[in-house]
A and B are shown apart, each in its own frame.
Chain A
Amino acid sequence: MTDANLMTVPDAAADPARRKRSEALYFAVRNPKLIVGGTVLVALLLLAIVGPYLTDNPPNDYVGPKASPPSGDYWFGTTTFGQDVFSQFVHGLRTTFVVGVLGGGIAALIGMAVGFTAGYRGGRVDEFLNMVTNIVLVIPTLAVLLVVSAYLKARGVLVEGLFVGFTSWPWAARAIRAQTFSLTARDFVDLARLSGLRTRRIIFREIAPNMSSYLVMTWILLFGGSILIAATLDFIGLGPTNGTSLGLMMNNAVLWSALQLGMWWWFIPPGLGITAVVGGLYIMNVGLDEVFNPRLREL
């Protein structure tokens, strides 16, 4: 139908598309959820980028007095060993973003590849991919990670991100499959198929653009999920072996009895940082959903 319009009245066709985009923008800049979530996220991202330059203390060196509460010298206080918590926090925040982008990105790529193929091809291919998805879903991530970490004595953030990405895609694949499935039944996809376009072109030119907003939202959820999974891994000591991370900070705090000693400055910042990043992402996601789906806007 849109194609018919395009051919007959160019100005009419360009207009609704532009209007739709500008309308999305209009709602985007007025959506409080999107603004709040986005602001929190950007602020933390800036802190993660700039923060490490604000302090001269390497995150893991014993630089200061032991177990001192926040002060002018050590903004977030120090650990039992005299490490600078602020320095650990900003470096850990960096790790968090890297793991989220990487893990979420890889999971989104795999999820899309599996989801598009299963949803578009259907039949045997679909059944096979469904089975693979099910298996990955049920296999305990931790067990696999143990074997992997056995081989890689020195693990960096990249390895962790890759690993999280490779294990957290199943739900995304299922969701994208269902969406692709319903889009494949539409006229314009039939038309593309009849006109002899190759499968990959149909998926990238016809199907993906029509669910782009959905894909963006899926990626955001995977982003947040990856951060939480990585925090869990760090917490049980399966995270990066070099550098620092927010999960590792919490692990050390619990390990060295920060709870019993009342050293709240040691374990509050890392958890708060993760909660703020993930919460910002999730709230932004709901905001985006309202922008893209007019039906959800509250009137």
Chain B
Amino acid sequence: MRRYFTRKFLIYLLTFFFAVSIDWAIPRFMPGDPVQSMLSRAALHPESATAMYDYYSNSFGLDVPIWRQYLNFWGSLLQGDLGTSVWLYPQPVSSVIANAIPYTLALMLPAILLSWWAGNSFGAFAARRKWLDNTALPFAYILNSMPYMWLGILLAWLLGSVLDIFPLSGGYGYGLQPEWSLEFIGSLLKHWFLPFASLFLVGFGGWAIGMRNLIIYELESDYSHYLTALGAPQRLIRRYAFRNAMLPQVTGLALQIGVIVAGALVTEIVFSYPGLGNLILQAINNEDYFLLQGAFLFIIIGVLIANFVIDMVYVLVDPRTRTGMRGATS
């Protein structure tokens, strides 16, 4: 048990190290020069440009040897300093990201958890029930095959543009300021609904199909047959099947989290939702590599935490890992 945790922890530490190093490389290995491109937009006099260049290189920490930059990066990272945004100069990257994070979390967490829960429940219910299997499952397949952004586009077009029930873009109404008022919260919810729904639906389809197939495998397993031979009712057999089929679905969540996060990012872009996804797009378009770096850092940390939590949950729900007879394969 302890060995299991130690090993897991080491793997996560190593992964964190690798991921952050790649993240560090983003602005350094970009073509062109982020400072130069920022200055060229400002169209300054040549001599003042040189001075400005030195000034900004210094303030972005780009005027020291590359190994030094790497160490400095870790140093300031541990102090929570992510540098300065080029696009929104002189705002610090950390505060730009801090404004976007709540939107992304409010979108992603409910969408991921609810679609996982609802999809699994529905899939388990549909398995080996012919009419549901034939009517609802094809829809689940179609949902699961849709690119995230396309479902987003469709919903935005149908409910936002054609029927005009929901707003098409943004995080809240144009005329509003963020505040704790009913009007603002109502506007937040209205803007939140479509991106949430498109994320939820794609996830729902995928989990439902996976669960349906897993349950069928479980119902054909030896222990199910033995229970049938001892006259146990279907209720008990299905309950066992559901419990056992949940285990691979927990692992599946860990395997899928990267894809889901990417899906959430593009969904934000479709709806111009003011979260990390939109920020990343803006950063790419404005060649703001420090902002990009910071946004990815948060995604890395988020995905790592999610994976870690899932690993721990897995230990709790699968007795075989707890008893130490066999380490989890995940």
Q: Identify the A interface with B (CB < 8 A).
A: 127, 131, 134-135, 137-144, 146-147, 150-151, 153, 170-171, 174, 177-178, 224-225, 228-229, 231-232, 235-238, 247, 250, 253-254, 259-260, 262, 264, 267-268, 270-272, 274-276, 278-279, 281-283, 286, 289, 295-296, 298
Contact = CB atoms under 8 A, between A and B. Distances in A.
Given A137-B254, A142-B280, A254-B270, 17 more contacts: A134-B15, A137-B258, A138-B304, A139-B22, A143-B300, A146-B26, A147-B22, A151-B29, A224-B145, A228-B259, A235-B147, A235-B266, A238-B284, A259-B156, A267-B157, A279-B145, A281-B145
B303 A138 contact: yes
Interface residues of B, number: 63
Interface in B144-163: 144-151, 153-154, 156-157, 160-162
Interface of B: 7, 11, 14-15, 18-19, 22-23, 25-26, 29-31, 130, 133, 138, 141-142, 144-151, 153-154, 156-157, 160-162, 168, 209, 213, 216-217, 220, 254-255, 258-259, 261-263, 265-266, 269-270, 280-281, 284-285, 292, 296, 299-300, 303-304, 307, 329-330
Main secondary structure of the interface of B (DSSP, over half): helix
Contacts of A278: 145-146
Nearest to A126: B329
Contacts, number: 169
A140 B303 contact: yes
A271 B15 contact: no
Given A134-B11, A139-B15, A174 B329 contact: yes
Contacts of A137: 254-255, 258, 307
Interface hub of A139, A232, A281, A295 (most chain B Cβ within 10 A): A139
Interface hub of B150, B285, B307, B330 (most chain A Cβ within 10 A): B150
A159 to B, nearest CB: 15
Nearest to A134: B11
Contacts of B25: 147
Nearest to B151: A271
